[in-house]
Amino acid sequence: MGERLRTANRRELGGYLFIFPAFLVMLMLVIYPLIYGGYISLFNTNLMARWNLVGLKYYLRILTDSVFWSKIRITISFTFWTVLGHFILGMVLALMLNVKIPGRAVFRAILLTPWLFPEVVVALVWKWLYNPMYGLINHFLVQLHVIAAPISWLGSPSAALPAVIIAAIWKGYPLIMVMLLAGLQAIPQELYEAAQIDGASPIQAFRYITLPGLRYVLVVSLILDTVWWFKHFTIIWVLTQGGPVDATNVISIDIYKTAFEYFRFGEAASMAVIVFFICFLFGYGYRRMLGDEGN
């Protein structure tokens, strides 16, 4: 009995030893920054010479500030349309690439290209495309007589957010396309053959075979994509810096400005902690809505 217990303990210890390196990495790269961020949020600090404890003052101020919530609304709007765009475009392209057509590998490579470009490059390319003086978009629209004169897409409060969302959709759809394509290829062909024999239409097959078959891939992709784009900074910053006025001022830009332009690190950290909980809620909500069935 005692010998068996000792063996079990040894095995357990071995297990702990095996996970220790991974735990250490997690501790350094994930847990420590999270805790440190929370710690900073309790101080009025420049992270160097000034550390004045303010407690929960910043949280109270932020949570009761209508400007903060208006920026959260812009962020949610940006995230919703971007993720929706990714899923519609990603799904359509994944379904097309799942069909055996000549040159499929070439199409896959081409459609993956936006994902390979750094975000800054993507933003600069779109900035040039949108330019009111030399941009290709204005040039073609004027040539086609769709618009009479060039439009400052990124300088218009009503057009700036859609313009930024289009750039973000272009950058992000390949990831969803690849994930959905992998999910599609895991669905057994027999199910489609059985459906065909039963007289199901392609739409019915999509509704009753494809979508349920993609359920887990959809949940994971949706959580990853939503959280990723909710925190997004680079493309918006390069394209508009949050402007004009506050038209594209998502919360990540506000956090950056508060920290690195106004040097109010404590306040920026409090905003970041709140955003962390919002992202956490997104993940939890998706899992509840779409069901994780023990996974």
Answer yes or no whether residue 155 interacts with other proteins by CB under 8 A: yes
Compute the distance between CA of residue 295 and CA of residue 290 in angstroms, rounded to an integer: 12
Chain center to CA of 286: 14
Answer yes or no whether residue 38 interacts with other proteins by CB under 8 A: no
Answer yes or no whether residue 85 interacts with other proteins by CB under 8 A: no
> What is the DSSP-derived secondary structure letter of residue 260?
I
Binder to other proteins among 48, 106, 144, 146 (CB under 8 A)? Answer: 48
| CB contact at 8 A, 229 and 87 | no
Neighbours of 65 (CB within 10 A): 11
CB of 60 to other proteins, least distance (A): 15
- Taking the least distance from each CB to other proteins, the nearer of 91 and 239 is 239
Answer yes or no whether residue 234 interacts with other proteins by CB under 8 A: no
Answer yes or no whether residue 37 interacts with other proteins by CB under 8 A: no
Answer yes or no whether residue 156 interacts with other proteins by CB under 8 A: yes
Answer yes or no whether residue 1 interacts with other proteins by CB under 8 A: no
Q: Which amino acid is at 252?
A: S
Answer yes or no whether residue 152 interacts with other proteins by CB under 8 A: yes
| CB contact at 8 A, 270 and 250 | no
Compute the distance between CA of residue 139 and CA of residue 163 in angstroms, rounded to an integer: 16
Q: Which amino acid is at 183?
A: G
Beta strands in the chain (DSSP E): 43-45, 51-53
Answer yes or no whether residue 107 interacts with other proteins by CB under 8 A: no
Q: Write down the residue that tokens 């208006």 correspond to.
A: 70
Answer yes or no whether residue 133 interacts with other proteins by CB under 8 A: yes
CB of 68 to other proteins, least distance (A): 15
Answer yes or no whether residue 212 interacts with other proteins by CB under 8 A: no
Residue ranges binding other proteins (CB under 8 A) = 46-50, 131-133, 149-152, 154-157, 241-246, 257, 260-263
